[in-house]
Amino acid sequence: MKKIHLTISLFLGFIFSNPIWAQSTDLCMQDLSIFAEYTKVKNFKAAYEPWANVRKNCPSINAAIYSYGERILKNLIKNGTPEQIEASKKDLIQLYGEWINYFPKKKNKSVLGDITSKKAQALLDYKMADIKEIYETFDEAYTKDAASFTNPKLLYNYFKTLYDRYKSGDEEVTTELLFNKYEEISEKFEFESIELSKKLDIILTKEEAGTPLTSKETRNKRAYNINSNAIGTYLSNFDKIIVKEATCQNLIPLYQRNFEANKLDSVWLKRAASRMDSKECSDDPLFVTLVEALHSIKPSADSAYYLGLLKDKRGENNQALKYYEESIALETDNYRKAKILMKIASKFKNAGRRSSARSYAKKALGFQPSLGRAYLLIAALYASSANQCGDSQFNKRAVYWLAASTAIKAGQVDASLKKIAKQTEASYIGRAPSKTDIFTEGNQEAIIKFNCWINTSVKVPKL
């Protein structure tokens, strides 16, 4: 204990008796404040020198050296002289290494995945490495710290670099490796989307209750919507990459070949069944084999859903519904419940069972208020009933007003669906009665009741 006290005393004595060290720290703090303010207002030229001084003399004083330094160097890469551009590219890669060395955590949580994936993206953007090295850097980020590897663009490029290797004939990248990585990153996209939805749903629920949002909640909602839109965009692009490879002709032989080795692996079975279902390969006997093996190992929400799907295909509707309900009961996560409910709603929609489809879509919204796709599905159900509901031509077409008002809600709760929600709304409005029709009928602001399966009403717009 005396030794510890002596060591501390000596250290403190060194600090206070060494004016050069104290002066250096003071200068670093001053320069830190200067470059931070300049960077905030995007005066990167003025920020460079004080930033470089702090980075050199006090590299562990504050993480802003690296987060702001990234911006400063990227600005030089964009706007500098040819010599500055080349030097800054190399320096940026070095900066990421220093960042990991001095500040591998933020608020006691690892950021290795985030920083290393940024390094991989820089290598890709500035063509500083071959495709294999870039992929391996992305893979290092994901393997070491998937939790902080959340950027949708970088997740997309993680898979894209592997796909490019596959298409170039790289023998190290087998079809099986490609599909396994696709499923793995798909699940990561789904996880990040759910985490974002959970945050957004808290705000949506508060808004629905009529409670005003705080300024912080308003900012957060805007940020969540931007991130949701980004996830939707990159996930769509991500799925497009694999569409030509993930065909039944490719999937079935691959899964047949690997079934024996993986028949006790629930993760493999689940992914294989999911991929066959999504690509509509579920008519093949292999799908039955996969589902039965999955359910026998460990009955789960997924296996019960697939058994319901098999019963549906055989026309055993009551048995199918039994398994669907079992699937929902087995699932413990509300957001995964919502996903299953939406799958069931879609199956009922395709089977022409509109009331059941709406019921399951509404149940899905009960678990996930931000599930915009549920509103689009309900809107489509209403629109498809225009000729069956209403006792006059005007009233039949009035169904489209109901469809339009439902469709627009999709974009209100899910920013990634704003564009399609507006397009869908406009399409339905175009089929609804016109202002001339309303004037002719003389029924503006009248309430039209739909006594068919819809069993609700709509108000005629005011002229």
Phi, psi at 333, each rounded to 5°: -90, 125
Q: Which residues pair with 332 in a beta bridge?
A: none
Instruction: Give the per-residue pLDDT at 16.
Output: 40
| Integer angstrom CA distances of residue 303 from 74, 110, 174, 209, 360 | 48, 35, 27, 37, 19
Q: How far apart are CA 5 and CA 270, in angstroms?
A: 59
**H or E stretch including 451?**
none
Mind listing the pLDDT tens digit for each residue in 92-147? 999 999 999 999 999 999 999 999 999 999 999 999 999 999 999 999 999 999 99
Answer for the pair 382, 403: CB distance below 8 angstroms, yes or no: yes
Name the nearest CA neighbour of 309 among 335, 290, 331: 290
Instruction: Give the per-residue pLDDT at 23.
Output: 54
Q: Which residues pair with 448 in a beta bridge?
A: 458
HSE-CB for 264 with a 13 A CA cutoff:
1
Q: How far apart are CA 415 and CA 227, in angstroms?
A: 9
Residue 419: strand, helix, or coil: helix
Q: How far apart are CA 428 and CA 340, in angstroms?
A: 28
pLDDT per 10-residue tile (average), the chain, 463 residues: 42 42 77 96 96 96 97 96 96 98 96 98 97 98 97 97 96 93 92 91 90 93 89 88 88 93 92 88 92 90 90 86 91 91 91 94 95 97 91 92 96 90 96 92 90 92 86
Helices (H), 169-214: 175-208
Statement: the pTM of the whole predicted model exceeds 0.95: no
Counting beta carbons within 10 angstroms of the beta carbon of residue 42, is it exposed (0 to 12), middle (13 to 18) or buried (19 or more)? exposed
Task: Record the tokens describing residue 35, joined without a space.
Answer: 């470059």
* Domain coordinates in residue numbering, the chain: 371-463
Answer for the pair 123, 129: CB distance below 8 angstroms, yes or no: yes
Q: How far apart are CA 266 and CA 251, in angstroms?
A: 18
Name the CA dihedral angle for 97, 98, 102, 105, rounded to a multiple of 10 degrees.
Answer: -40
Instruction: Give the per-residue pLDDT at 309.
Output: 87
Helices (H), 41-130: 44-57, 64-79, 82-102, 112-125
Q: Which residues pair with 105 in a beta bridge?
A: 110
Cβ partners under 8 Å of residue 201, min gap 6: 368, 369, 370
Instruction: Give the per-residue pLDDT at 26.
Output: 87
